Amino acid sequence: MPRFALKIDYDGTPFQGWQRQAAGQPSVQQAVEDALARLEPGPHTIAAAGRTDAGVHGTGQVATVDLARDWDPFRLSEALNFHLKPAPVAVLAAVRVADDFHARFSAIERRYLFRLVARRAPVTHDKGRVWQVLNPLDTDAMRAGATHLIGLHDFTTFRSSICQAKSPIKTLDEISISEHPYPGGAEYRFALRARSFLHNQVRSIVGTLERVGAGAWPPEQVKQALEARNRAACGPVCPPQGLYLSGVGYPVDPFA
């Protein structure tokens, strides 16, 4: 059966996450599989590079699917987008891939973006797409705190209590923090890159760094929290709506 890789963009607001849920609970996976069933009748199961939580968005999610028909990739993406309406899900690209390519197991890195807006007035256009705080943050202090998290570490402190990963040891390759103008305030963007992440790791890290930026924590306390290997030492876990799965890396980019 021909195998295809799909690059998928979605607004996670109306969904209970990427993964298929119990009957009546909407998911991004279910939306795409239902669209596939309109093209080729029967059940379909797609495999994704990452299982985003409820309310988390995707701008570069990758999924693989085996189909009976050897579709022209452009026609496949166009047909899927037609049948995905009106769900806030779009297939940005479809490509034919080798039978041994797998969206999850072939990936060598995942990239996440977190958007945080600081302003007094409620956000309007970005409601549900950013985390809002009221006061400006110290970008340099957050960068100083983030340096303690780069590299190979035991991330128990920044791991959800229900995380199913076999080990809390992960290598965080990059955290970059940039500040941008935003109407009535400022936007802070956190870009994180690693081969894989623990459950709630990104949200735990950003929530902790926000405390540093707000002046509630000195940057050195991030190192102390990491070394504590204790969930209780973590800062607040920030809400999901500012988080985006922005990209997935492979040894050879199938969409290049």
Q: So which residues are the catalytic ones?
A: 53
For residue 72, CA distances in Å to 2, 60, 67, 75, 251 come to 11, 21, 12, 5, 24
Spatial contact of 14 and 56, defined as CB atoms under 8 Å apart: no
Rounded to an integer, what distance in angstroms lies between the CA atom of residue 111 and that of residue 247? 5
**Start-to-end CA span in the chain (Å):** 23
Rounded to an integer, what distance in angstroms lies between the CA atom of residue 153 and that of residue 92? 35
For the chain, count helices (H), then strands (E). Answer: 5, 10
Phi and psi, residue 162, nearest 5°: -105, 15
Tokens of 51: 């299982």
Residue 55 gets the label, from left (phi > 0), alpha (psi -120 to 50) or beta, of: left
Sequence-ordered strand ranges (E) for the chain:
3-10, 47-48, 57-66, 89-97, 109-119, 131-133, 151-154, 169-182, 185-194, 243-249
- DSSP code string of 75-94: HHHHHHHHHHTTSSEEEEEE
